[in-house]
Structure 1
Amino acid sequence: MSAPPPPDHGVYISPAQTYAEVQRLRRTVDQIDVKLDRLLDDNREIKEVLSDHETRIRAIELGETERQRRDELRLSGLETRRWPLPTIGAVTGAAGAVTGVVALFLR
């Protein structure tokens, strides 16, 4: 089967050339499709990481991490044990002053 002669005002494209061009376009679209799938997978991973990051930041801001709870308990325990120290010092100082006054009168 021979190709018809080209018209006077245009270019003739044979069915074989059309088929080859369609195949080339199909391969290009397939490559784009693969790249888009990779991009979507990367986007999903980024969203998961971002969501996890946001969750951890919110927990830190609210003081809800295990470490923060443990530190808060430790600090409150230290503060509770520290409060008697000034009282003991005051009592000891007062006892010393009383002893000094009594010693002064007993001379």
Structure 2
Amino acid sequence: MTQPAPNDPASVTVELERIRRTIEVGFTRTGGDLALLVQRNDTTDATLKEVGRRIDNVDGRLDTLERGETDRQKREQARVDALERNRWPLPSLAALVGLCALLLSLWTAANR
């Protein structure tokens, strides 16, 4: 196989065509890689937005829990309040029993 002369216009044209094809393939590959990176970036942005919405949602629910504004917490607080209002009046009952014992003691002492 003989090499063509460097000044041969046909060989220069063939080499230029090969270079052009190589550059086109490189640009096409680079364009595809960039398109893939843009797609991944868009997907990442969408994922981050979704994560941000979820964090905001959880943060709002946590604030509601900390303030005690859920229906369950309100029901439990109402239940505790009702129990505290209706609890057994032990101090009053103890004072009443002590007073009755004192009166009984005085009545017994008076009858002797």
Report the counterpart of residue 36 of structure 2 in structure 1. Answer: 31
Report the counterpart of residue 53 of structure 1 in structure 2. Answer: 58
| TM-score where L is the length of structure 2 | 0.76
Provide the rounded CA distance (Å) in 2 between the counterparts of 1:2 and 1:96. Answer: 129
Q: Does 1:22 align with 2:21?
A: no
Summarize the Cα distance change of 1:38–1:106 in structure 2 as closer, same or farther, 3 Å threshold.
Answer: same
| TM-score where L is the length of structure 1 | 0.79
How do residues 43-82 of structure 1 correspond to structure 2 at under 5 angstroms? 43-82=48-87
Provide the rounded CA distance (Å) in 1 between the counterparts of 2:43 and 2:105. Answer: 87
Higher RCO structure (Cα 8 Å, ≥6 apart):
1
Cα RMSD (Å)? 2.3
Residue 5 of structure 1 and its aligned partner are, at CA, apart by 9.3
Report the counterpart of residue 96 of structure 2 in structure 1. Answer: 91
Q: Number of matched residues?
A: 101
User: 1:5-29 CA distances to partner (integer Å, 9 max, x unpaired)?
Assistant: 99xxxxxx82212211110011101
Gaps of 5+ in 1: 7-12
Matched letter for residue 94 of structure 2: G
Gaps of 5+ in 2: 1-9
Percent of pairs with identical residues:
23
Contact 1:3-1:14 at 8 Å conserved across structures: no
* Matching residue within 93, 102, 108 for 1:103: 108
